[in-house]
Amino acid sequence: MQKINITSADSGQTLIKFLSRYMKNAPKSFFYKMLRKKNIVLNGKKSDGTDMVKMGDEITLFLSDETIDKFREEEIKDVRTKRLNSYEKHVKKLYGDSDKTISAEDLEVLYEDDDVIFVNKPAGVLSQKADNADVSINEVIIDYVRENDELTATSVKPAICNRLDRNTSGVISAGKSITGLKALSYMFKARSVKKYYRTIVMGKCDRKGILEGRLYKDEDNNKVTVEIVSSKESAADGNFFDAFGEGAANSEDTMGCVPVKISIEPLFVSDSYSYLEIELITGKSHQIRAQLASIGNPVIGDFKYGNRNANMAFLEKQHGGALKGKIKPDMFLHAYKLVMPEIEELEERAESIKLKLKEIPDVSAAIRTGEIDEEDMNLAGVDWKKLEEISGWDIIAPLPDYFKRALEIIQAAK
């Protein structure tokens, strides 16, 4: 027999999901059978597995130690060294000899509490791994939480809730608990988090305003193309020309493309280079890079959408001479700031949905018919009081050193 006490990090998930995390090698059919036979009980009572577990709950497993051990994942070993070695191989392939590494000790934490964590991702690191050999910021965050003794076998593993391109640095958010994961996922999907980037681009870009376009993606080559459909230099200039019709900025796959939108604010402008703040209003893969390139202002260091010769010339200037061997692919695009929504507003909306749910006899049927939106269900399922600390906050990631050096170069060249 074994008893498990639910912690705050484990709360907010169904009993069956918790059991699946605790005994990862067991099929769900095993759990349902044990629940029916009352070999697994919640707070001393029979459960069908759909009950939401909360802090202080007690799960009792009337199972032999041998059965539990058989279904438990093998004891977690220290895999950080293995990941670090893998990352060092990646760095050598990309940069040549380099002492650049990323580990839990190196992680730059911008904000952290029991439910969420925000970190400053270095350029050159994946947000999420594409295959088992990859090292990503997600694994580094997991190692960081584990090394701080916050991650147990039953805990929810941290997971990132926004993504950046490999060579884009800046703010990455991750949920550390069910509450944190649900809250951040809802915020980003509902576009209630404002996202700001800093970038250095080629050429003079002194226009302040909104830029809209159509984005086409070439899946085979992992590249996008943007056709600009409108621009507007100030809010007082009248309505946008909208190539898709009213409301198209929020629609998808119109005429085989996706409408995209950014806001541009110049911070420093010369004839050769511009330093910009970009608000990412829609948010698609490679969007900022492709949109800026489409108006003749590609991001410096972007070899996919920019001019190779111009990039090489700037990088040689930055590194003090001709580059030998592998070049350092410094791309000057940094996810500078996330502006978090007011939690009180989300909490009020959640309470309103909860009241509505009480009046619906069959919630599952209401979701199928569209009477209740699934995102509303997610909103109502979050304990928003636990997120009040970040209400309305600006989460800011300082610029990387190589970015600061580049700013000095373009400002001195004016």
Q: pLDDT tens, 202-258?
A: 999 998 999 998 888 887 787 888 887 766 654 334 333 333 333 444 444 455 688
Q: pLDDT tens, 338-382?
A: 999 999 999 999 998 888 888 888 877 887 787 877 778 888 888
Classify each residue of 22-37 as buried b or exposed e, where b means 16 or more C-beta atoms within 10 Å of its C-beta.
Answer: bbeebeeebbeebbee
Question: Residue 20's pLDDT band (boundaries 50, 70, 90)?
Answer: confident
Mean pLDDT of the chain: 82
DSSP 94-153: HHSS------GGG--EEEE-SSEEEEEEPTT-BSS-SSTT--BHHHHHHHHHHHTT---T
φ, ψ of residue 81 to 5 degrees: the values are: -60, -40
φ, ψ of residue 216 to 5 degrees: the values are: -115, 135
Parallel/antiparallel/unpaired status of strands 194-202 and 258-269? unpaired
**Domains plus CATH for the chain?**
2-71 (3.10.290.10), 79-190 (3.30.2350.10), 197-337+399-412 (3.30.2350.10)
For position 323, what pLDDT does the model report? 61
Q: How many C-beta atoms lie closer than 10 Å to residue 49's C-beta?
A: 19
For position 305, what pLDDT does the model report? 92
Question: Residue 325's pLDDT band (boundaries 50, 70, 90)?
Answer: low
Q: pLDDT tens, 380-393?
A: 888 899 899 999 99
Q: How many C-beta atoms lie closer than 10 Å to residue 153's C-beta?
A: 13
CA max distance for the chain: 78
Burial of 75 (0-12, 13-18, 19+ CB in 10 A): exposed
